[in-house]
Chain A
Amino acid sequence: MPNNSLVILLLLLPILGFVIEAFLGKQIVKSSGESGKRLLGAVAVLVVVGSFAAAVKLAIDLAGNDPSMRSQMVTLAPWINLAGLKVPFEFLIDPLSITMALIVTGVGALIHLYATGYMVKDKDYSRFFTYMNLFIFSMLVLVTAGNLVVMFIGWEGVGLCSYLLIGFWYSDHANAKAANKAFIVTRIGDVGFMLGIFMLFTLIIGQVGSGASDGRTLSFDNLIDTLPGVMHSHPSVAVIIALLFFLAAVGKSAQFPLYFWLPDAMAGPTPVSALIHAATMVTSGVFLLNRLYLIYEAAPIAAAVVTIIGAFTAIFAALIAFSQTDIKKVLAYSTVSQVGYMFVACGAGGFSAGIFHLATHAFFKALLFLGAGAVIHSMAHNQDMRNYGKLAKYLPITAITMFIAFLAISGIPFFAGYYSKEAIFSASVGGSFAKIGSVNFGQIAGYVAIFTAFLTAIYMARLTWLTFFGREERWRLIEPHHDSVQLAGALPECVSYSDDPNGWYKAIEPESNATEPEHTLDKDHEPHEVGASMWIPMVILAVLSVVGGYALDAGRLEAWLYPVAPSSVPKLAEVPWVTPVGIAAAVLGALVGGFYYWKGLPANEGWNMSKWNPLRIFALNQFGFNSIVSDGSSEAGKEIGAALNVGVDKGIIEGILGGLALCSTGIGDLLKKLQSGYARSYALLMLAGAVVLTVWIAVVGYRGGF
């Protein structure tokens, strides 16, 4: 049995850190300054490390069990207790949840450690770690939840923390708007999650009569028994439920129609981008699909949608990545693209391949973000790659670790990404899970994914060479540029953040310096390697990016996650050409990219945007998609609002209220005639009243009515 206290420890340590940071943080920083910050940082890191230790112990205990006994439910407290539905606070400890918990706490601890160095100058140090610890807690609730409702709590919790951390430097209007955008767009997916739960519940109740015998209809241990039967008897409903949960995954994991919040989310501090918007939260959609794989087994149409959306997102985001000059934006689109890979795998039936890529991606993408953070840190917070170049000379550790991450994400053999990408390619090209009629959508997605691997290697080489190599130290050659100014002249930004007509986003404390300390980059700038608290996590992640793939290896991970292979997933066909073609795509891409950017920044990607290839500008505009959806929806919302204002508000509501007001005015006009102001007329009225009263008393009294 899993130790209950271990589960409590796993969940409660981050919340303990959260409480300490939230309630004591400000006082400690105020009273003891730098050493107080060091103490708070240590607390924040240690609680996550403690949580990681608990997860490791749970994993070891679990591995010691027989494979069929590796799924255990731990109930901590009752919660919803109705006759037909019981939803306790219960947590499912099984290989999938514990794998996710290890990634969350392990990578989370490293990023916390990094952040203690990265954020050290920030005024709101304790607030940052308050949110970070709360995020770790929410994410752990999400991955270890034992039923869909508790999972939804975690799902919303990570959304909240994401919002708070994107808008961490809230006094900048753009950051506040980016936070709002992320929150609102992911909310669309959350509606899908809720509707999915409702439909699933209704369907099971309708099918089985009363749901599970102990009332815990929505708990995963019961769902495993009930789902296959229910789903196979209602295939069309299964497709709808599967698509609703996929909508939730699309929102959270930034897949195609709802991807555009993620690049804006880069407004948050870089450790946040690494933890939330690369390694953990954005991959929770993949986790959700794995948790509910039984639904997708019964709904091949939904699986085909998943894999096609994943493939389209992968190539779409990879193309946009070519147009980005902001180092973090490149990584953001790369994240969208890589999460697309995971959906390709899940939709094609390779659920464990999806989790495999999730794990390796957590290593190398977190490393890439941390490296980008180190570069930004040492380059006076300038994020534009056109100002970089030849940084390997100044930042050796960062350059080496990021180069390893580049090799890993490109899928160069024997680095982590190679193994997980191979698993995805063979699962999608060789599988026939998402086959509808004669069209094997998984196979199509697989081809797209292989081509995207080629693109990935090129744009990652572009990032690496523009940043670390080349012949010029470009910040010395040209006047410092600020991309906002440049963009405003050459090309309209899709979303204009500068206006604040209503003053809604103004900071509450105008004196708070709630931005990253800004000092401009100039000719005399000398970049310095970052401190130990920042490079140690990067080195550890670099080691994981090298050995992580081999250590987890697809077969081993699959045996661990799915000891009993999903019954309806057809056996993979052996496609011998997949591995060599995958390797060729990666190596060729890396070579092409490396040679193309060998000398540094090509003229047609420089500051003068009029020299840019029109296609690249088209990609920079996200192929018009962001402006259609984002601006389109806000414009349409404005139109609808205006129509409602005129029709409903002015017409109906104000009509009713105005009518009532007119009514009372009329009555008042009538009544005011009585108020003549002549005292004698009042006296006469009183007399008349007295006479009437007297007569009435006399008459009634005479009749003996009293």
Chain B
Amino acid sequence: MNGVPLGGYLLLGLLMFAIGVLGVVLRRSPVVIFMCIELMLNAANLTFLSFARYLPSLRSDDPAMLSRQAVSGEMMVIFVMAIAAAEVAVGLGIIMAIFRLRDKVDVDDLNVLRG
């Protein structure tokens, strides 16, 4: 792991995720919320990758299985990125549409589904 221990990556991931959560909950601009969601997704990605990097270094009776699991962790990152891209495309489209409709985008104004 090139000198940086696993815990360091995980701590960074945790920090990024926490910032993302706080951003989603506290900020009112949808663009910023989107950015925070991306941050959370990438925190998860970082965690996936660090475990994938870490796993093969373990000692095991079946090292081949460990490396297969590592590869699946890396694959998961690819999926997440693809989904994030799709989500952004759709979400930004919605934001643009709302902006055209209202000239102002504030998530707290979008409360027509209130019970």
Chain A residue contacts of B112, Cβ below 8 A: 677
Chain B residue contacts of A687, Cβ below 8 A: 21, 25
Please encode chain B, from 24 to 35, with 1 for each CB lying within 8 Å of some chain A CB and 0 for all others.
111010000000
Complex: how many Å from CA A683 to CA B108?
A: 12
Residue from A672, A673, A678, A687 whose CB has the most chain B CB atoms within 10 Å: A678
Complex: how many Å from CA A679 to CA B24?
A: 9
Chain A residue contacts of B108, Cβ below 8 A: 678-680
Q: CB distance B111 to A678 under 8 Å? A: yes
Please encode chain A, from 414 to 446, with 1 for each CB lying within 8 Å of some chain B CB and 0 for all others.
000000000000000000000000000000000
Measured CB to CB, the closest approach of chain B to A684, in angstroms, equals 5
Is A532 part of the contact surface with B, judged by Cβ < 8 Å?
Answer: no
A residues 386-428 near B (Cβ < 8 Å) are none
Is B5 part of the contact surface with A, judged by Cβ < 8 Å?
Answer: no
Q: CB distance B114 to A683 under 8 Å? A: no
Closest residue of B by beta carbon distance from A681? B25
Closest residue of A by beta carbon distance from B36? A683
Q: CB distance B107 to A680 under 8 Å? A: yes
Q: CB distance A675 to B107 under 8 Å? A: no
Q: CB distance A683 to B113 under 8 Å? A: no
Is A82 part of the contact surface with B, judged by Cβ < 8 Å?
Answer: no
Total A-B Cβ pairs within 8 A = 34
Given A671-B115, A672-B115, A673-B115, A678 and B107 contact (CB-CB distance below 8 Å): yes
Chain A residue contacts of B113, Cβ below 8 A: 675, 677
Q: CB distance B28 to A680 under 8 Å? A: yes
Chain B residue contacts of A675, Cβ below 8 A: 113-115
Please encode chain B, from 101 to 115, with 1 for each CB lying within 8 Å of some chain A CB and 0 for all others.
000000110111111
How many residues in B have their beta carbons less than 8 Å from beta carbons of A?
A: 13
Please encode chain A, from 251 to 294, with 1 for each CB lying within 8 Å of some chain B CB and 0 for all others.
00000000000000000000000000000000000000000000
Closest residue of A by beta carbon distance from B113? A677
Residue from B107, B108, B112, B115 whose CB has the most chain A CB atoms within 10 Å: B115
Measured CB to CB, the closest approach of chain A to B11, in angstroms, equals 16
Complex: how many Å from CA A680 to CA B25?
A: 5
Complex: how many Å from CA A674 to CA B113?
A: 11
Complex: how many Å from CA A684 to CA B107?
A: 14
Is A676 part of the contact surface with B, judged by Cβ < 8 Å?
Answer: yes
Complex: how many Å from CA A678 to CA B112?
A: 9
Mind listing 8 A-B residue pairs with CB under 8 Å?
Answer: A671-B115, A676-B111, A676-B115, A677-B114, A678-B114, A683-B24, A687-B21, A687-B25
Complex: how many Å from CA A678 to CA B21?
A: 16
Complex: how many Å from CA A680 to CA B110?
A: 10
B residues 71-115 near A (Cβ < 8 Å) are 107-108, 110-115
Chain A residue contacts of B24, Cβ below 8 A: 680, 683
Complex: how many Å from CA A401 to CA B75?
A: 108
Measured CB to CB, the closest approach of chain B to A3, in angstroms, equals 81
- Give 8 nearest A-B pairs by CB, closest first: A677-B114, A677-B111, A675-B115, A672-B115, A679-B107, A683-B24, A684-B25, A677-B113
Chain B residue contacts of A671, Cβ below 8 A: 115
Q: CB distance B115 to A674 under 8 Å? A: yes
Complex: how many Å from CA A552 to CA B88?
A: 105
Residue from A672, A675, A679 whose CB has the most chain B CB atoms within 10 Å: A679
Chain B residue contacts of A673, Cβ below 8 A: 115
Chain A residue contacts of B26, Cβ below 8 A: 680
Chain A residue contacts of B107, Cβ below 8 A: 678-680
